[in-house]
Structure 1
């Protein structure tokens, strides 16, 4: 079996060697040997790193991601947790769409002043309520 050294893994994934060393330190990936001072990784580390990257993009913590990788480093994905995260992403997408639409309205509003625009005032009220809800939710965590 041909092993990949840390430089090859970094080049193929775009992940800095310092991050690879950190991932190894926290148990997300494992090197199998060293050639000189350079860590050697099995080829399956590339799949593991793709899963880690996808998990981070989805908003999972490294601790949560570690729980999704089995002892052998292969995925053991909790379907219910993935559905929950997908639902959170859907909510975030809806909020971002509303924010985008608000910004477009503000940029294109024909009113002489935004404070004279009834739609702008309504959008401000909605945004203020969402902010208060988010603050309350974050305070409970």
Structure 2
């Protein structure tokens, strides 16, 4: 079995060596030893890093990605979780499509100023509602005094 050092893996995958070390610390991948100061990995790590990259691109957290590997390091994907993520991506695509269309309209709007454009006003209201929603979620409830 051919072992690859961390710099070879980084060159082949485009994943920074620091990220590879981080993934190892998180338990997503496992090194098999060292050559001098460099970590050594089996060639299987290339597929594991491809899955990690794909998962990150899809918006999975590293903890969720870690659950996508079986004890042997091979992919063990949960179909129900993949369906949930696909549904989440569909909702995100729909929101972004609406936003894109509104921005295009505002860019081409014939109103004398953007503030006179009804779609721009709608875009502003949506943005304000989202900001307020995030602020309210971050607020910590006050403790009641004894």
Range into which the TM-score falls when normalised by the shorter chain:
0.7 to 0.9
Compute the displacement of 1:46 (Å).
0.2
Inter-partner Cα distance in structure 1 for 2:10 and 2:91? 34
Cα distance, 1:98–1:80 mapped onto 2, change above 3 Å = same
Consecutive unaligned residues of structure 2, counting only runs of 5 or more, are 139-146
| 95-104 vs 43-52, which moves further | 95-104
Compute the displacement of 1:17 (Å).
1.0
Compute the displacement of 1:67 (Å).
0.8
Give the alignment of 1:106-117 within 5 angstroms. Answer: 106-117=106-117
1:2 aligns with 2:13: no
Inter-partner Cα distance in structure 2 for 1:138 and 1:54? 29
Inter-partner Cα distance in structure 1 for 2:84 and 2:136? 16
Inter-partner Cα distance in structure 1 for 2:94 and 2:36? 51
Inter-partner Cα distance in structure 2 for 1:88 and 1:124? 24
Aligned residues: 139
Q: Provide the residue aligned with 1:23 in structure 2.
A: 23
What TM-score, normalized by structure 1, do the two folds share? 0.87
Q: Deviations over 1:55-106 (max 9, x none)?
A: 1111111111111111111111011111111111111111111111111111
Cα distance, 1:20–1:126 mapped onto 2, change above 3 Å = closer
What TM-score, normalized by structure 2, do the two folds share? 0.84
Inter-partner Cα distance in structure 1 for 2:64 and 2:132? 25
Consecutive unaligned residues of structure 1, counting only runs of 5 or more, are none
Inter-partner Cα distance in structure 2 for 1:68 and 1:133? 35
Compute the displacement of 1:125 (Å).
4.1
Partner SS state of residue 34, structure 1: strand
